[in-house]
Structure 1
Amino acid sequence: MASYYEQVGAATVREVVDQFYAVVLADPDLAPYFTDVDLPRLKRHMVMLLCSVLGGPEVYEGADLADAHRDMGITSEHYEKVGGMLVAALREKGADEELVQHVVTVLGQVRGSIVAQPAGAAG
């Protein structure tokens, strides 16, 4: 059975990432998170990360997710919004529901590394 990566291919992953960031950056609630960010570099990291999540040969060599998102103050609401935008981009590029659900599962698994914990909350 083909991996999710083999089902969609690298070119589609790049298209998904481009579409995803276009939507994210157009959102007035989310755009401030990306002020002064090297967007081409971020997109490359996101392509590698998504390819890795989908079972591709790319190895994600970026920063640990918790380290990369530390002190950004990402809220649960914004995390859910961004996740929804990624899912929508995948569906628009023809990803099947099994692949989409795999990504949703991974988003749930990494949520704690990205969403800011309230002050005094146990990690």
Structure 2
Amino acid sequence: MNLFQKYGGADFWSDFLNVFYTRITDSELLSRHFADKDIDHIKSMLIGLLEVTLVTEGHYPEDSLKEGHKNMGITGAEFDNWIKIYTSALKDSGIADEDAASILALVQGYRHCIVTKP
């Protein structure tokens, strides 16, 4: 069974993203990137990303990620903080350590598409 369905499909991952984005928008370092943003739209896009990567073990189009993040000015430190919050949300949502490691490896693989500032 793929990781998307293993934990309950779209409903589980939607709940996970609710927890995650509550933490992100509370982050002093990251909240500026989400001010005046449609968080529900972002979560909807991320459900699609999770489904593509966790169901098919496919690769999300890097050009789309680069385009979506190119004007955000995301630093390496911000990305690292995002990963820290994502990791804690995975753990707190009951994702097994080995599954969390797989998911985090996928996300880390997109770092070069998201980080635009040193």
User: Considering the TM-score relative to the shorter chain, is it more than 0.5?
Assistant: yes
Match of 1:8 in 2: 7
Aligned residues: 113
Task: Look up the equivalent residue of 1:8 and give its one-letter code.
Answer: Y
Match of 1:66 in 2: 66
Match of 2:83 in 1: 83
Q: Which runs of 5+ in 1 are unaligned?
A: 119-123
Q: Which runs of 4+ in 1 moved over 3 A?
A: none
- Secondary structure (helix, strand or coil) at the match of 1:82 reads helix
- Are the aligned partners of 2:24 and 2:85 in contact in 1 as well (CA < 8 Å)? yes
TM-score scaled by length of structure 1: 0.83
**Kindly, what percent of the aligned residue pairs are identical?**
24
- Are the aligned partners of 1:17 and 1:43 in contact in 2 as well (CA < 8 Å)? yes
- Secondary structure (helix, strand or coil) at the match of 2:19 reads helix
Greater gyration radius = 1
- Are the aligned partners of 2:76 and 2:117 in contact in 1 as well (CA < 8 Å)? no
1:117: how far off?
A: 4.4
Distance 1:88 1:64 in 2: 26
Distance 1:39 1:104 in 2: 21
- Are the aligned partners of 1:13 and 1:51 in contact in 2 as well (CA < 8 Å)? no
Q: Which runs of 5+ in 2 are unaligned?
A: none
Distance 1:39 1:12 in 2: 17
